[in-house]
Chain A
Amino acid sequence: MGLLKGTIGALISLFVSVSVFAQSAETARSDLNLRQGVTEISSQVYDLHMLMFYICIGIGVLVFGIMFISMFLHRKSRGVKPANFHESVKVEIAWTVAPFVILVLMAIPAANTLIAMEDTSEADLTILVTGSQWKWHYKYMDSDIEYFSNLATQREQIKNKFSKGENYLLEVDRPLVIPTGQKVRFLITSDDVIHSWWVPDFAVKKDANPGFINEAWTNVIEPGVYRGQCAELCGKDHGFMPIVVIAKDPTDYNAWKSEKIAAIEEAKAEEERLLAMNMSMDDLMANGKKQYLAKCAACHQPNGEGLPGVFPSIKGSAIALNDKVGHIDIILNGRAGTAMQSFSKQLTLSEIAAVVTYTRNAWGNDTGDIIQAKDVFMQANGK
Chain B
Amino acid sequence: MSSATETLQHDAHDDHHHGPAKGIKRWLLTTNHKDIGTLYLWFSFIMFLTGGAMAMVIRAELFQPGLQIVDPQFFNQMTTVHGLIMVFGAVMPAFTGLANWLIPMMIGAPDMALPRMNNWSFWILPFAFLILLSSLFVEGGGPAFGWTFYAPLSTTYSGDSTALFVFSVHIMGISSIMGAINVIVTIWNMRAPGMTWMKMPMFVWTWLITAFLLIAVMPVLAGVVTMVLTDKYFGTSFFNAAGGGDPVMFQHIFWFFGHPEVYIMILPAFGIISHIIPTFARKPLFGYASMVYATASIALLSFIVWAHHMFTTGMPVAAEMFFMFATMLISVPTGVKVFNWVATMWRGAMTFEIPMLFAIAFVILFTIGGLSGLMLAITPVDFQYHDTYFVVAHFHYVLVTGAVFSIMAAAYYWLPKWTGVMFDITLAKWHFWASLISVNVLFFPMHFVGLAGMPRRIPDYALQFADFNKWISIGGFAFGLSQLIFLALLIKACRKKGEPVTDQVWDGAEGLEWEIPSPAPYHTFDTPPVVK
Contacts and interface: CB of A to CB of B under 8 A. Distances in A.
Given A17-B444, A80-B349, A82-B282, A308 B140 contact: yes
B462 interface: yes
Interface string A221-239: 0000000111111111111
B324 A107 contact: yes
A325 interface: no
A337 interface: yes
B455 A86 contact: no
Interface residues of B, number: 107
Interface in A56-97: 56, 59-60, 63-64, 66-67, 70-71, 74-77, 80-88, 91-92, 95-96
A30 to B, nearest CB: 6
A12 to B, nearest CB: 12
Contacts of B328: 103, 106-107
Interface stretch (B98-106, B378-386, B414-422): B378-386
A75 B346 CA distance: 10
Contacts of B120: none
Interface string B47-91: 000000000000000000111100011001000000000000000
A289 B324 CA distance: 51
B424 interface: no
Interface stretch (B148-156, B260-268, B516-524): B148-156
B65 A339 contact: no
A70 B345 contact: yes
B335 A310 contact: no
Interface stretch (A114-122, A245-253, A346-354, A374-382): A114-122
Contacts of B289: 87
A34 to B, nearest CB: 5
A209 B247 contact: yes
Contacts of B241: 209-212
B336 interface: yes
A33 B332 contact: no
A159 B66 contact: yes
Interface residues of A, number: 110
Contact of B374 (A56, A160, A229): A56
A99 interface: yes
B113 to A, nearest CB: 31
Contacts of A229: 453, 455, 458
Contact of B159 (A84, A203, A309): A309
Contact of A71 (B159, B345, B457, B459): B345
User: Max chain A CB contacts within 10 Å: which of B144, B153, B453?
Assistant: B453
Interface stretch (A123-131, A189-197, A260-268): A189-197
Given A7-B352, A67-B345, A85 B383 contact: no
A231 B286 contact: no
Contacts of A99: 331-332, 335
A38 B366 CA distance: 34
Nearest to B339: A95
Nearest to A14: B440
A336 to B, nearest CB: 8
A82 B378 contact: no
Nearest to B248: A209
B387 interface: yes
10 contacts: A34-B381, A60-B368, A66-B342, A67-B363, A70-B347, A86-B285, A110-B379, A209-B247, A235-B144, A309-B139
Interface of B: 65-68, 72-73, 76, 138-141, 144-146, 150, 152-153, 156-157, 159-160, 240-242, 246-248, 281-290, 312-314, 317, 320-321, 324-325, 328-329, 331-332, 335-336, 338-340, 342-352, 357, 360, 363-364, 367-368, 371-372, 374-375, 378-381, 383-384, 386-388, 429, 433, 436-437, 440, 444, 447-448, 451-453, 455-465, 468
Interface of A: 1, 3-4, 6-7, 10-11, 14, 17, 21, 30-35, 44-45, 48-49, 52-53, 56, 59-60, 63-64, 66-67, 70-71, 74-77, 80-88, 91-92, 95-96, 99-100, 103, 106-107, 110-111, 113-115, 117-118, 133, 157-160, 164, 166-170, 188, 192-194, 196, 198, 200, 203-207, 209-212, 214-215, 228-240, 307-310, 336-339
